Structure 1
Amino acid sequence: MTFCSSDIPIDSLQELKRVVELAKLDVPLPISFPLDDVHTLNLSNCGLSTLPIGFEKAFPQLSILFLSNNQFQQVPEVIGKCPHLQMVAFKSNQLTTIHPEALQSQLRWLILTDNQISTIPETIGRCTRLQKCMLSGNQIQTLPDAMAHCTNLELIRLASNQLKEPPMVLLRLPKLAWMALSDNPFLHSVLEAHADLKGLRTLEDLEESNDAAILGQGASGITRQYEYQGQKVAVKTYNTDIRVTSDGLPEEERRIHCAAAALDCSALIRVLGQTVRGSLVMELLQDFRAIGDPPSFDSCSRDVYSNDSLVHALTTEQAMTIVSALLQTLAALHEQGICHGDFYGHNILVCATDLNQVRLSDFGAAFFYEKGSSCGTFLERIELRAFAIFVKEVNTRLKEGESPLLRALVARCRKEEPSSENNFDRVYIWWKQTQLTDIAKEFGLGIDETVVEEKEAN
């Protein structure tokens, strides 16, 4: 039986027409349902607390739904009745619960950031296609065992919740590569251990001004350009009074920037000091561009590489240099118990005038963890997956064709180990040995390949 406007109660029909008006849809008048050609609805900032009866029938092809900054107290059941709905956003509502039937297998991208949700229904286990899940800024204390069925989940944000124990059900997921856990009770003691930043130099003669040119701004703070002692610098002022962002805690991001600067890795942005007000003073990157673009609606959790992306200009040698620097940096970070959490091409900056120069940016999702713990072992494996994904994305786009060495590196990162053996340090040792072996072969020399096994064993 075909659905039409006459099948809807008058009150609901008026509400559905109001939805069309609120979404500013360009449809012929008089409005006649169903609207088969509507794939995206943006109903953010509309003061809504419910969706009208017949919503799923009125928009049968709906695949993307934005309902952020409204007044919903529950993720409604009708969400699960929309057969093609892949992405739904309820950021910054008044949510306390999720209707169990709202969670169905068609969901790929779920955004529930900045609400008051305390529990996730067991029906989350139905979401076997879920790739990206944004849950930061809620009151979640535990996660259901059913999340073990979310085997396609690649990215999750759980910062600023009430997790008292590591979410092991998530850490064991086979495809998880990007994770944010900052500002949860089980990590608070680790963060407190990194509170001492006395070694950071205060640049008392650098005065901040709101008139300085803005380089960038986001939830965690604002970055402006200054000149200090004849040198252009970037100064980031952190929103330390903000507790909820999509990624993590701004104060933790600041501490991690400082801790990372002490590692003296070429791929990390140099921190020169801090202002009297506590803003971080960093080197200003000029002529640097992101190697990739953020994920699209279609790619969901994977970066997009346009035709003019710098990745297409890289030679194999330049790619090897970049990958080596980033691998060394990640090994150094994890040695200090730091997880970047957002290791993506769009956060990796390459100098357009010297493609050998690379910087790892954006520590917004980064967090400290307990090195040597079971949780830490899994976190390192998760970030290894992110690194492997990036290396593969670069390698498959090189202008000279794929490099067998980079392909081998991807395989090594994905190697399944029976215990805690697969980590950045071991992969880095293996990588340097592999490069030496390859160079030796070019010159007809022989290298004992058991050396790496002995080093890894130690």
Structure 2
Amino acid sequence: MNTLEQLRTGQLLGTKQLKLACGLSEFPTEIFELAETLEVLDLSGNALSTLPADLPRLKRLRILFCSGNRFSELPTVLGRCEALEMVGFKSNQIHHVPAQAIPPQLRWFILTDNQIATLPAVLGQCQRLQKLALAGNRLSALPASMAACTRLELLRISANQFSELPDWLLKLPRLSWLAFGGNPINLEAERQALSESPLPSVAWQQLQLEQKLGEGASGVIYRAQLRGQQAVALKVFKGEVTSDGLPSSEMAAAIQAGSHPHLIPVQARLVEHPEQAMGLLMQLVASDFQSLAGPPSLQSCTRDVYADDLRIDLAQLLRLAAGIASAAQHLQGQGLLHGDLYAHNILHDRQAAALLGDFGAASFFDSKNPALAQALQAIEVRAFGCLLEELLERCEPTDSHQTALGQLRSLLQDCLNDEPAQRPSFTQIVQQLLLLSFETS
């Protein structure tokens, strides 16, 4: 975090990144003194409602965050910022997105938690668009022109007003991570999962909170002691619209997921929280389980960030991949799309046992509609293909495994096929991975 004093006294000259959160109601003109170097500008958490007309003077500006401000309209000046590729205006009061406001080089667009009912057709001209976050708005449709956004990989349209998914969306060649929970298309299924849950209830007073284990967009996870019983993991939901969607949608999906060896078991629902927050009690995962990777960075956009020294042998890769594919196959059978099948949502141990977690982007779908089920599975299969590709990059097979490695690479290409209908099913993927495991053992 930087300060206005640092900016005004010239201490930040030459910087590439600037972050100011100090109750600003006007854009500080001193920022223009950084025009020759500034690439990342974060003005989130202020009281801004406009941007200056000469913002394009920041000719190197690639990334702009203005979340948590008071914008009611996306500023049209953004469309004249030629280098701008990442724009974030989460949690404002935006109800209008002018066509002129869309930067020509747009790659990552965040408009989560606003009041947007329509989007301009010019979005379809954003040939570089990879990541689009629109959860928590009032959208009931997307521009048909977006069928031309063939590089789009991640889309969040949860908590809107969609009663159906557009046909063209399901045919995009690179779409891999899709979240559409909390819409009319699946709200009834979510409510049913919550109301008919077979899980027991545990009162807040029966729990003793211990250390915090982690925190995500939708909630905080604690180690907790259940009175007279074993320690558990407790996830307390924040009750806010996240980049993925609604906490109630996540809770419904976690319940609907049921039991599987490669999912973290859900044991009970939390009740009587002092602030009426929702929560789930889950099995406490052994401490030797670690996240397989970190989430995508500003640079990687849609791909996870792995530790530089991570290496995995072929037997471990096959075991891990088969486990995750099996979990995805199970979720499909439960009428669920995970929506965030990423390495950063996978816990693994030294023996490559794997657990798929985080249902924040999960979406219910009508499993009685075979065409829809197959199309959504194909999207998730591509996400699995991306995971498989990343694991293969970190695999060190022996010379005796070259045949199996070739078959694995062939499977990878099938999963990444630009024609979604040509991708294998998770049933086929699991069978092939298990056969390869047997042949290489």
Sequence identity of aligned pairs in percent? Answer: 36
Alpha-carbon shift at residue 417 of structure 1 (Å) = 7.1
Confirm whether residue 272 of structure 1 aligns to residue 256 of structure 2: no
Does the C-alpha gap of structure 1 residues 63 and 415 become closer, same or farther in structure 2, counting only changes over 3 Å? Answer: closer
Confirm whether residue 427 of structure 1 aligns to residue 429 of structure 2: yes
- Looking at structure 2, the residues matched to 294 and 73 of structure 1 have their Cα atoms a distance apart, in angstroms, of 30
Write the deviation string for residues 305-359 of structure 1: whole angstroms up to 9, x where unpaired: 12134xx1x21101111111111111011011111111111111112xx332211
Confirm whether residue 378 of structure 1 aligns to residue 364 of structure 2: no
Does the C-alpha gap of structure 1 residues 219 and 25 become closer, same or farther in structure 2, counting only changes over 3 Å? Answer: farther
TM-score (norm 1): 0.82
Whichever residue aligns with residue 268 of structure 1, its letter is: L
Does the C-alpha gap of structure 1 residues 372 and 388 become closer, same or farther in structure 2, counting only changes over 3 Å? Answer: farther
Name the SS for the 1:136 alignment partner. Answer: coil
Whichever residue aligns with residue 395 of structure 2, its letter is: L
Name the SS for the 2:194 alignment partner. Answer: coil
Choose 90-99 or 398-407, whichever is displaced more: 398-407
Indicate the residue corresponding to 2:243 in structure 1. Answer: 246
Alpha-carbon shift at residue 425 of structure 1 (Å) = 2.3
Indicate the residue corresponding to 1:4 in structure 2. Answer: none
Alpha-carbon shift at residue 193 of structure 1 (Å) = 3.8
Gaps of 5+ in 1: 1-17, 443-458
What does residue range 19-418 of structure 1 map to in structure 2 within 5 Å?
21=7, 26-27=12-13, 35-57=35-57, 59-202=58-201, 207-209=206-208, 211-228=209-226, 229=228, 231-239=230-238, 242=239, 244-260=241-257, 262-263=258-259, 265-277=260-272, 279-285=279-285, 286-309=287-310, 312=311, 314-351=312-349, 354-373=350-369, 374-400=371-397, 403-415=405-417
Whichever residue aligns with residue 411 of structure 1, its letter is: Q
- Looking at structure 2, the residues matched to 200 and 360 of structure 1 have their Cα atoms a distance apart, in angstroms, of 20
- Looking at structure 2, the residues matched to 418 and 123 of structure 1 have their Cα atoms a distance apart, in angstroms, of 25
Whichever residue aligns with residue 262 of structure 2, its letter is: A
- Looking at structure 1, the residues matched to 220 and 32 of structure 2 have their Cα atoms a distance apart, in angstroms, of 47
Write the deviation string for residues 120-157 of structure 1: whole angstroms up to 9, x where unpaired: 10000111101111111111111111101111110011
Alpha-carbon shift at residue 276 of structure 1 (Å) = 4.7
CA contact (8 A) 2:7 2:31 kept: no
Indicate the residue corresponding to 2:20 in structure 1. Answer: none
Choose 318-327 or 398-407, whichever is displaced more: 398-407
**What is the number of residues matched between the two proteins?**
411
- Looking at structure 2, the residues matched to 417 and 32 of structure 1 have their Cα atoms a distance apart, in angstroms, of 46
CA contact (8 A) 2:174 2:418 kept: no
Whichever residue aligns with residue 49 of structure 1, its letter is: S
- Looking at structure 2, the residues matched to 189 and 163 of structure 1 have their Cα atoms a distance apart, in angstroms, of 13
Determine which structure has more spread, i.e. the larger CA radius of gyration: 1
TM-score (norm 2): 0.85
Name the SS for the 1:356 alignment partner. Answer: coil
- Looking at structure 2, the residues matched to 292 and 131 of structure 1 have their Cα atoms a distance apart, in angstroms, of 20
Does the C-alpha gap of structure 1 residues 190 and 272 become closer, same or farther in structure 2, counting only changes over 3 Å? Answer: closer
Alpha-carbon shift at residue 427 of structure 1 (Å) = 3.0
